[in-house]
């Protein structure tokens, strides 16, 4: 079914879509994939389950809309041009999102299901692309092209492991050391 242009959509339908996606996103971030059900999203958004099913026939549709909202509203620190300082700020922001738990729940739900469903694999790619967009641009402006992807993986992987798997804080000292090591390996 083709969506009408935004200007041609009834404002009540726009409000319903906004409210439902806001509720689904909040639920996904606070409680994880399993909590995103039509019944719970409808209850939180203040609409009937029939209304939710009309616009989002499957749970995957609700989660996909949530991932779209998460990616569409992601904020990154503004680059200053100082490679090390910009990377440290980006990584500390990433660590903060992980330590608050909402990003870990979102990533966990998507990673758990990505191997079984190509649509979920696309969401995984969307989260990666949006989550690393700013840091990739910083690296591209300072490093040789062949060093960008490995350095990006080292930096994000280091913070992810530290916070999500080791359950340790990614302190500024830790992140600065990680940046120095990754840049030394990349040879800027």
Q: pLDDT band for position 186 (50/70/90)?
A: confident
CA 185 – CA 154 distance, rounded (Å): 10
Q: What does the pLDDT look like over 100-158, one tens digit per residue? A: 888 888 888 998 888 888 999 999 999 999 999 999 999 999 999 999 999 999 999 99
d(CA 80, CA 10): 42
pLDDT in tens, 151-182: 999 999 999 999 999 999 999 999 999 999 99
The pLDDT score that the predictor gives to residue 2 is: 42
In tens, the pLDDT along 27-63 reads 999 999 999 999 999 999 999 999 999 999 999 999 9
Q: How far is CA 87 from CA 105, 155, 171, in A?
A: 24, 9, 14
Q: Is the pLDDT of residue 10 over 90?
A: no
> What pLDDT is attached to residue 188?
53
- Tell me how far apart the alpha carbons of residues 37 and 115 are, in angstroms, rounded to a whole number: 21
Q: CATH for 77-186, among 1.10.10.10, 3.40.80.10, 1.10.357.10, 3.40.50.300?
A: 1.10.357.10
CATH tag for 6-70 (out of 3.30.300.30, 1.10.357.10, 2.40.128.50, 1.10.10.10): 1.10.357.10
pLDDT band at 70 (very low <50, low <70, confident <90, very high): confident
Give the model's pLDDT for residue 44. 96
Given CA atoms 101, 118, 66, 90 in this order, what sign does their dihedral have? positive
pTM, two decimals, is 0.83
Closest residue by Cα to residue 178 from 161, 166, 165: 161
Q: Look at residues 22, 12, 4 and name the one whose alpha carbon lies nearest to residue 73.
A: 22
Q: What pLDDT does residue 1 have?
A: 39
Q: Do domains 6-70 and 77-186 have the same CATH topology?
A: yes
Domain positions in the chain are 6-70, 77-186
- C-alpha to C-alpha distance for 53 and 48, rounded to whole angstroms: 9
**Nearest partner of 35 among 23, 46, 47, judged by Cα:** 23
Distance CA 165, CA 90 (A): 19
Per-residue confidence (pLDDT) for residue 104, from 0 to 100: 87
């Amino acid at each position: 079914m083709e969506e009408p242009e935004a200007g041609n959509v009834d404002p009540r339908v726009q409000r319903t879509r906004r409210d439902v996606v806001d509720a689904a996103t909040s639920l996904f971030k606070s409680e994880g994939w399993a909590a995103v059900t039509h019944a719970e999203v409808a209850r939180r958004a203040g609409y009937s389950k029939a209304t939710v099913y009309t616009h989002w026939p499957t749970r995957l549709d609700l989660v996909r809309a949530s991932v779209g909202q998460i990616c569409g509203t992601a904020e990154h620190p503004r680059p200053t041009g100082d490679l090390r300082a910009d990377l440290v700020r980006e990584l500390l922001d990433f660590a903060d999102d992980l330590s608050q738990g909402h990003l870990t729940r979102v990533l966990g739900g998507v990673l758990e299901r990505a191997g079984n469903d190509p649509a979920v694999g696309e969401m995984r790619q969307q989260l990666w692309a949006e989550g690393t967009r700013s840091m990739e641009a910083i690296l591209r402006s300072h490093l040789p092209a062949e060093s960008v992807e490995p350095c990006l993986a080292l930096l994000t992987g280091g913070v992810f492991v530290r916070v999500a798997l080791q359950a340790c804080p990614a302190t500024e000292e830790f992140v600065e050391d990680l940046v120095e090591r990754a840049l030394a390996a990349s040879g800027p």
